[in-house]
Each structure stands twice: as structure tokens, then as C-alpha cells.
Structure 1
């Protein structure tokens, strides 16, 4: 599937940006320009069922939104051999499954959804209900966000296909055995997706792991400057 993309910058180096569930390319509204300022051409996708990209096809949510289908979409849409690829949450799961074919020079996984079976509150009904969240609820859940991020959240929720949440349970998730390319994992402070033992195991497997103090799951929106600091040496 060819995905909708959005670009910032026109530099010689390419950075790929892959968002999480319920979001789209607009989640990178500050990261994309920051990378452009560093000389990148930053290319952000809308994953299938998100933003302006097509919905999945098939008779069931699982068929429409299988993890391997998300990964194939990246391969069908994005250039190979980029300098950098960043995936957040579901985007970290998608990037992990595509990275051996995209072959970026470096990969960054931001609070990636690699251990979904242990994630607290993984109830598809909660995700689906959140599609109707209002501004006050989003502000209360994300007190560190700028007003523009709340605007983006409202817009991306309206553009999102909730069947992608119904497809999550039962899809195989596990920690990667080794990085396909040099890889950094940036965790939320007190991540509900990867715990301290997971972080330690990833280090033994060749991943660098950093945490952004005080940041929640959407690290790059909770603390933009802290996120960029965590990427030092990788961007």
C-alpha cells in the first residue's frame, strides 16, 4: 500500500518518521522541522487507517491491520538507505518489522510497542472510546503538551480507523533478538510498555537504551527538548 507522506526540509540526508496508533504524521510537527534544521529531509508517513492514508482491506480487523501489513506499507512507500528512521509506539513495532528491508543507517525506537501482551490497559474498547475524547480530557491526560498538540490529537483521532485497535490483541509481540542496524531505544519515564528488566535485556542484545526523565509515552510531545537531547549522537 502506498501511504500518504509529509515532508520537512530538503537536505541531502533522509530521516523517516513513523507514528503510533491513533496518530498520524502531525505528531511530528516539531520533530520534523527540527530535523530539517539539521540538514535532513524528514519524511513522515500516515500508517494505514490513519490520517490521509487508505484503510486496510480484508474481512476482519486483524486482516486489515496486521503488523506485517503495516511493515510492508513502509517498504512500499519509503526510500531505502535513509540516514535515520524513528518509530514511536506502534510505529516502533512497524519499523522493527521493516528495518531489515529499509536498511537505514540508524534506527530509533521511541517507547516501542514490543511487549503488548504485558501492557497495562490493552483493551481495544478503551482505544475505540478514546476516539471521542474532548479537549479537556486530552489536556488533563497530557498536562505538558502545548495547545497545538491538543489540536493535533483531536484532528488525528477524527481521521483514525478504530478497527486498527481491535486488531491489536493476539498479534505476536516480543523483544527483538538483535538490532538489524545500529539502534537506540528511547523510553518514557516509567514506561508501561517496557520495564527495567526489558531495558537491561535490550542492552545485552546490542541496543542502546535511554530514558527521558519525566516524559510520558508520547515522549516527543511531552518533552520535545528532552527528546532531542536523548537523540544526541544519533541525529
Structure 2
């Protein structure tokens, strides 16, 4: 599936941005311009079922295939968040960016027995503005407004389409390209043991102190500082 995209900047040096579940390209509203200011042409997608992209069917490998169909190969850097990081990791060999950044990647989601599963995630569709603020107290009012709009556009069936991911160990065996794993503090996605294992496998690990899961919205400055040497 060809995905809709949003572009900031121009030129031959390209950065790719892939959002997580429940949101869309608007999550990168500060990151896109910041990377463009560094001389990059920045391309952000709306994954299928998100934003203005077409709907279903859904699955992690389908998300990855869409990235390959939509985005240029050999980018300077590719950055994925959460589900977007999972999709990027499944597409990275074909996209072949020079570097990859996986921001709090969904590589080891809790299983349904933990009280977290597709039904729980799908209920996020009905979150009110006040609930979004309560869950994300460090977000700006513009980020909150963007999330309200993104949730209205989101197809919650994506949560069921990735049901096989819950409880699965999807940590990559090795970094296909030089790769940074950027973690929240604490990360609900990557445990300390997983982080140590990823380090052993050759990934660089950096934690943004005090940041929640959506690091680039919780602590934009910390997010950008964590990318030092990678962008």
C-alpha cells in the first residue's frame, strides 16, 4: 500500500520518520522541522489505518511492506517510534538507510495475561482530551490537540491486527545497519534485561531520563540530544 506522506525541507540527504500506533505524522511536528533545519529532507508517513491512509488489513509485516513501497531507499537516517520502530526493523534491510533509530520500540509487548492486549489498546480510541492530558502531563496543548485529531482518524482495528505481537519476543538478532535504541525512563516496552541483550547484539542503547514512552513529545530537547551523532 502506498502511504500518504508529509515532507519538511529539501535536498538529497533524507530522514524518514515512522510514527507509533494510535497517532499519525503529526506526532513529529517538532522533529520534522528540527531535522530539516539541519539540512535534511524529512519524510513522515501515515501508516495504514492512521491519518489519511487507507484502512486494513493489518499486521506488522504489512506495515513494513508499506514502508518499503512508499519510502526511498538509502536514506541518511530512519527513525521509528513504538509500532513504527517495529515496522522499521522489519523493513530496514530493504530500505537500507545509513543509520536507524528505534525509539522505545514495540519489540516485546506484554502478553494478554498481563492485562494488556488488543482490547485495552483499542479502547484508547475513546480517550478524551482530559484523559490524554492526564496520561501525558508533559505534552504541549498543540500535541494534545493533534492527538485528539489523530485518534478520531485512527482505525482501532489496527490493535487487533497486531495481536500476534503481544507477548512475542521480536528483538532483532542483529543491527542490519548501525542502530540506536532510544529508551524512555522507565521503558514499558524494553526491560533492563532486553536492553542488555540488545547491547550484547550490537545495538547502541541510550535512555532519555524521565521521559515517557513518546519521548519526542515528552522531552523534545532530550530526544534531540539523544540523537547526537546519529543525525
TM-based fold match above 0.5:
yes
Match of 1:176 among 172, 184, 188: 172
Give the alignment of 1:8-157 within 5 angstroms: 8-56=8-56, 64-118=57-111, 121-157=115-151
Any conservation in 1 of the 2:18–2:44 contact (CA below 8 Å)? Answer: yes
Q: 1:216 aligns with which of 189, 212, 220?
A: 212
Deviation at 1:117, TM superposition (A): 4.0
Question: Normalized against structure 1, the TM-score is what?
Answer: 0.94
CA distance in 2, matches of 1:206, 1:197: 15
Structure 2, unpaired ranges of 5+: none
Show CA shifts across 1:17-52 (max 9, x none).
Answer: 000000110000000000000000000000000001
Moved more, 116-125 or 205-214: 116-125
Question: How far has the Cα of 1:132 moved from its partner?
Answer: 1.3
Change in CA separation of 1:214 and 1:29 when aligned onto 2, cut-off 3 Å: same
What's the offset of the Cα at 1:168? 2.4
CA distance in 2, matches of 1:117, 1:130: 17
Indicate which of 179, 184, 188 corresponds to 2:184: 188
Residue 131 of structure 1: SS of its match in structure 2? helix
Distance 1:7 1:177 in 2: 32
* Counterpart-to-counterpart distance in 2, 1:193 and 1:101: 25
Q: Displacement of 1:118 after TM fit?
A: 4.8
Q: Report how many aligned residue pairs link the two structures.
A: 228
Q: Which residue of 2 aligns with 1:164?
A: 158
Deviates more, 1:120-129 or 1:200-209: 120-129
Describe the superposition over 1:69-126 as per-residue Cα deviations: whole angstroms up to 9, x where unpaired. Answer: 1110000000000000000000010000000000000000000000024585422222
* Structure 1 portions without partners, runs of 5+: 57-63
Aligned Cα root-mean-square deviation (Å): 1.2
Deviation at 1:223, TM superposition (A): 0.2
